A and B are shown apart, each in its own frame.
Chain A
């Protein structure tokens, strides 16, 4: 899901950075000092989870889990994803400083959308609905994310439209895997620690 440095056009980079700044502003505002350790350590958990490679047919994909992040964190998912990507850029040189804005927005925006669309359904009492919502959450977070990547590429220039299509198609299997993993892990958390799914909905 990372777009490398030097590919995108200046206007796309600036737009991405501005949108991410706005998102992080809201996210940080909604984040009390009391919850900083919790969000930060969940960020490290997602960082570690993104190192998991799940087999699919002859190949394997690594987990993104931005849907689950949205479910558990709400708006603070924005700064959390920013930090995770910043650390990835520093430690592995995936992505970089100039693309940090675009890459963060491409992953965090779907996380927020999925939080609003599926958050209540996932923590609901009906098992069938909540499982379906959890699957949809993981699935749509990747679908939207790959669409955002495709849009960023397409706005950069016409020659990139071909690659943009490839990006979306290549992510189809990832969507299904992410849906399933989100379904099982959300179900697991709901059984063992239901309050984890409630935290983000608490009034503040």
Chain B
């Protein structure tokens, strides 16, 4: 259940320097999130699709993922056309759908999916431990990176504990219903998971102290920029600058 679905593989994007991927992903997301011209958004989507193709991910998994993520967007499609002011396009009962509303919903859908695809292609193709190392190299606070390291490391451990507890409940014929007994059982389940994780953290901390931990987390992965990384970085940076130029460039010259 908790797995990095896209991180293993062999492609240009899997081999790129994680630092570059983080920088490009953040820049791209920011630019696209604040852009509002349709042609810019369409080009951004093209950029993302291109990235996804280059990272040769399994299409089936990717499409399933996109369906899951677009739930909130679906809600927007139900509500936005009817609440956005503008010319009426068609009516459903007392509600009027406006052309502007539909256009707006369209642009949000493109925007959102462009960002998600780019993030899957860039960040999804990196193992999370490598990302954490790269974040440390990018001067993210030490404690924050340590938190990321530990919590990701122990999600799997705690998840197995959780599965064990749930199996124990199932063996005892627990059927979730909408009643107080169910909520009490779930409350105790949560409490037990928290308790086990607390005990686990004490053991981990003691083990670290035994091995001479003094608060400093050594970074073991060092990345080296190669020519391929630099070329990819420059191309992607230029594309993003191009997007920004298309969006705001006109104002600079008039």
A and B bind:
yes
A124 at the interface (CB under 8 A from B): no
Is the Cβ of B158 less than 8 Å from the Cβ of A45? yes
Interface residues on B, range: 35 or more
Contact flag A189-B178 (CB < 8 Å), given A44-B158, A96-B115: no
Shortest distance in angstroms between A72's beta carbon and chain B's nearest beta carbon? 7
Asked if residues B195 and A41 are in contact (CB atoms below 8 Å), the reply is no
Given A6-B33, A52-B190, A40:B149 Cβ within 8 A: yes
Query: Of A76-84, A111-119, A139-147, which stretch is located at the interface?
Result: A76-84
* A interface list, Cβ under 8 A from B: 2-8, 10, 13, 24, 28, 31, 33-34, 36-45, 47-49, 51-52, 54-57, 63, 65, 68, 72, 79-80, 82-84, 86-87, 89-94, 96-99, 158-163, 166, 177, 180-189, 192-193, 196
Q: Report chain B residues within 8 Å CB of A52.
A: 186, 189-190
Chain A residues whose CB sits within 8 angstroms of the CB of B215 once the complex forms: 33
The residues of B with any CB-CB pair to A shorter than 8 Å are 1-5, 25-26, 29-30, 32-34, 65, 68-69, 72-73, 75-76, 79-80, 82-85, 101, 104, 108, 111-112, 114-116, 119-120, 123-124, 128, 131, 141, 143-144, 146-155, 157-159, 162, 176-178, 180, 182-184, 186-198, 200-202, 204-205, 208, 215
Contact B191 A188 (CB under 8 A): yes
Selected from A33, A49, A158, the residue in CB contact (under 8 A) with B193 is A49
- Complex: A68 Cα to B197 Cα, angstroms: 14
CA distance A91 to B212 in the complex (A): 33
List the A residue with the shortest CB-CB distance to B115.
A5
Q: Quick check: A54 and B191 within 8 Å, CB to CB?
A: no
- Taking a contact as CB atoms under 8 Å apart, the answer to whether A83 and B151 are in contact is yes
Given A44-B151, A94-B69, A193-B198, 11 more pairs with CB closer than 8 A: A5-B116, A6-B32, A31-B143, A37-B205, A38-B205, A40-B148, A41-B198, A51-B162, A91-B3, A187-B191, A196-B194
A98 touches which of B30, B151, B177, B184 (Cβ 8 Å): B30
- Chain B residue nearest to A184 (CB atoms) is B187
Most buried by A among B152, B159, B182: B152
Chain A interface mostly helix, strand, loop or mixed? Answer: helix
- Which of B3, B75, B124, B197 neighbours the largest number of chain A CB atoms within 10 Å of its CB? B197
Is the beta-carbon distance between A97 and B26 smaller than 8 angstroms? yes
Least CB distance from B52 to A in Å reads 13
Closest 5 CB pairs of A and B: A184-B187, A6-B111, A40-B150, A188-B191, A45-B197
Q: How far is A163 from B72 in the complex, measured between Cα atoms in Å?
A: 10
- Does A68 contact B190, Cβ atoms closer than 8 Å? yes
Can you give 8 contacting A-B residue pairs, CB < 8 Å?
Answer: A44-B151, A48-B155, A48-B162, A51-B1, A51-B162, A83-B147, A184-B188, A185-B194
Complex-state Cα separation, A183 to B184, whole angstroms: 9
Query: Is B143's CB under 8 angstroms from A163's CB?
Result: no
Measured CA separation A167–B184 after assembly (Å): 26
Cross-chain contact B183 with A177 (CB below 8 angstroms):
yes
Query: Which of B128, B147, B148, B157 has the most chain A CB atoms inside 10 A of its CB?
Result: B147
Q: Are B72 and A2 interface neighbours, CB within 8 A?
A: yes
Choice from A83, A97, A192 contacting B25 with Cβ under 8 Å: A97
